[in-house]
Amino acid sequence: MKSVVKISVLLLILFVTSRTTIWAQLDSVMTECEKHLTEEYLSDGQQYISLITGEQTAEFNAVFYGGNTYRLITCGGEKQNLLFTIFDINRNELFNNSDYEKTNFWDIQFESTIECFVEVKLDAVNTNSGFAVLLIGLKK
């Protein structure tokens, strides 16, 4: 009976410690992302977050209103580039950061309102798992 209690306590400590580490890592990623959301941009109020591993892809939906300039920012941790691609609803590629030295933020403007998908995946060269964070800002 005592050994079961000891194991339960150990598992509880491990669980609490790992959750604290995960949230600390996510907080650090968010801080890095927010550096690119400068005063000239208003956040859309969303934090698009996904934990991805290996070849997984996170997909986030967004609507961009015509005539506005948006800043899309992706972060995934220290020295970790994320690959992100913007598609329209017909899966036509509108932007791919691989074409721009894997930059982690990009300003984009649309002539008319459009619904898009933003796909984010890990750059397999640097890591095999981690958080993918997308922030979207609207230029004031």
Q: Is the pLDDT of residue 111 over 50?
A: yes
Please state the three-class secondary structure of 33-64 as a single string: HHCCCCCCEEECCCCEEEEEECCCEEEEEEEE
Is residue 17 one of the residues assigned to a domain? Answer: no
Which residues lie below 8 Å from residue 123, measured CB to CB, with a gap of 6+?
A: 80, 81, 82, 83, 102
Provide the token pair at 44.
């859309």
Domain count, the chain: 1
Is residue 90 one of the residues assigned to a domain? Answer: yes
Is residue 133 one of the residues assigned to a domain? Answer: yes
Is residue 70 one of the residues assigned to a domain? Answer: yes
**What's the pLDDT at 80?**
60
Lowest mean pLDDT among 49-53, 62-66, 117-121, 126-130: 126-130
d(CA 130, CA 51): 6
Is residue 56 one of the residues assigned to a domain? Answer: yes
Is residue 66 one of the residues assigned to a domain? Answer: yes
Is residue 120 one of the residues assigned to a domain? Answer: yes
Q: Is the pLDDT of residue 107 over 70?
A: yes
Please check whether residue 48 is in contact with residue 60, taking contact to mean a CB–CB distance below 8 angstroms.
yes
| CATH code assigned at 129 | 2.60.120.380
Nearest-5° angle of CA 19, CA 24, CA 29? 125
Is residue 72 one of the residues assigned to a domain? Answer: yes
Q: Which domain holds residue 57?
A: 30-139
